[in-house]
């Protein structure tokens, strides 16, 4: 099965990149380069060190924002899921945050915190945290009551029930929320660089577009997608390592 899964992923990549190459050769637009042109541009950006310098800037708000979103998001989600009062008080806030056009808040953040690191971290957090909080609270709230009652019947303390029953049972949805939140965080990091100050990968995208160097622009976009995919796969490995041996079906029962 693992070999088959890898084969399907490779086949999917071949289809997508093949379609990209064909669309670039037609071409669908003069501003749409081929896959090979974009990859060659990515190689050049890598060899001259431009991409590493850019990521040194992009990763600062991204990593800080994702760590804050993950820690606070899971903590708040557990709190909201375990308490109906806090659910009533805080859930509407995050529902509104998830559905609102948060990019419109960027000018307000710039006015309040300037154009430095703080504003960019806030953008990552407001993009990533709502989905983490809502997935975590929903997973905790929907943990089957039967297994919680079983834990109490075996004289488990509330702490034991939370740590040994609720969190393992809710972990599939929690980690699904983390993956979605981290994906939104990557979007937020690039959005901040495009809307606040053109630094890092956002600077490559903006500058390449301004001089019509479209292969470099698409190479920069491809690199951030590739990094996000690698990060999400790493998160899946961490999930399997942390919860190895647990029944993964509780929350969806």
Q: Within a domain: residue 191?
A: yes
Q: Within a domain: residue 135?
A: yes
Q: Within a domain: residue 35?
A: no
Q: Within a domain: residue 14?
A: no
DSSP string, the chain: -HHHHHHHHHHHHHHHHHHHHHHHHTTS-TT---HHHHHHHHHHHHHTTHHHHHHHHHHHHHHHHHHHHHHHHHHHHHHHHH-HHHHHHHHHHHHHHHHS-GGGGHHHHHHHHTTSHHHHHHHHHHHHHHHHHHHHHHHHHTS-HHHHHHHHHTT--HHHHIIIIIHHHHHHHHHHHHHHHHHHHHHHHHHHHHHT---HHHHHHHHHHHTT-HHHHHHHHHHHHHHHHHHHHHHHHHHHHHTTTS-TTSTT-
Q: Within a domain: residue 203?
A: yes
Instruction: List, for residues 72-130, the tens digit of each pLDDT value.
Output: 999 999 888 888 888 888 888 888 877 777 777 777 888 888 878 888 898 899 889 99
The CATH number covering residue 197 comes to 1.10.3720.10
Residue 91: per-residue pLDDT: 82
Residue numbers of the domain that contains 151: 49-242
Instruction: List, for residues 201-231, the tens digit of each pLDDT value.
Output: 988 998 999 998 999 999 999 999 898 888 8
Q: Within a domain: residue 38?
A: no
Name the domain count of the chain: 1
* pTM across the whole model: 0.80
Q: Within a domain: residue 137?
A: yes
């Amino acid at each position: 099965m693992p070999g088959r899964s890898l084969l399907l992923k490779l086949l999917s990549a071949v289809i997508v990149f093949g379609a990209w190459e064909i669309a670039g050769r037609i071409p669908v637009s003069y501003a749409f380069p081929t896959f090979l042109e974009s990859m060659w541009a990515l190689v050049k950006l890598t060899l001259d060190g431009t991409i590493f310098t850019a990521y040194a800037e992009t990763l600062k708000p991204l990593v800080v924002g994702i760590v804050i979103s993950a820690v606070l998001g899971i903590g708040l989600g557990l709190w909201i899921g375990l308490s109906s009062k806090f659910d009533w008080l805080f859930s509407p806030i995050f529902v509104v945050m998830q559905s609102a056009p948060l990019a419109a808040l960027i000018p307000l953040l710039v006015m309040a915190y300037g154009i430095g690191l703080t504003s960019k971290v806030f953008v990552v957090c407001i993009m990533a945290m709502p989905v983490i909080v809502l997935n975590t609270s929903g997973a905790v709230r929907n943990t089957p009551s039967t297994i919680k009652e079983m834990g109490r019947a075996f004289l488990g303390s509330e702490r034991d029930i939370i740590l040994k029953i609720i969190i393992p049972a809710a972990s599939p949805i929690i980690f699904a929320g983390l993956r979605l939140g981290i994906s939104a965080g990557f979007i937020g990091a690039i959005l901040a660089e495009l809307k606040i100050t053109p630094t890092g990968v956002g600077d490559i995208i903006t500058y390449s577009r301004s001089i019509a160097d479209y292969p470099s622009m698409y190479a920069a976009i491809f690199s951030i997608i590739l990094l996000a995919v690698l990060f999400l796969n790493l998160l899946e490995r961490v999930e399997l390592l942390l919860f190895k041996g647990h029944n993964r079906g509780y929350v969806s029962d």
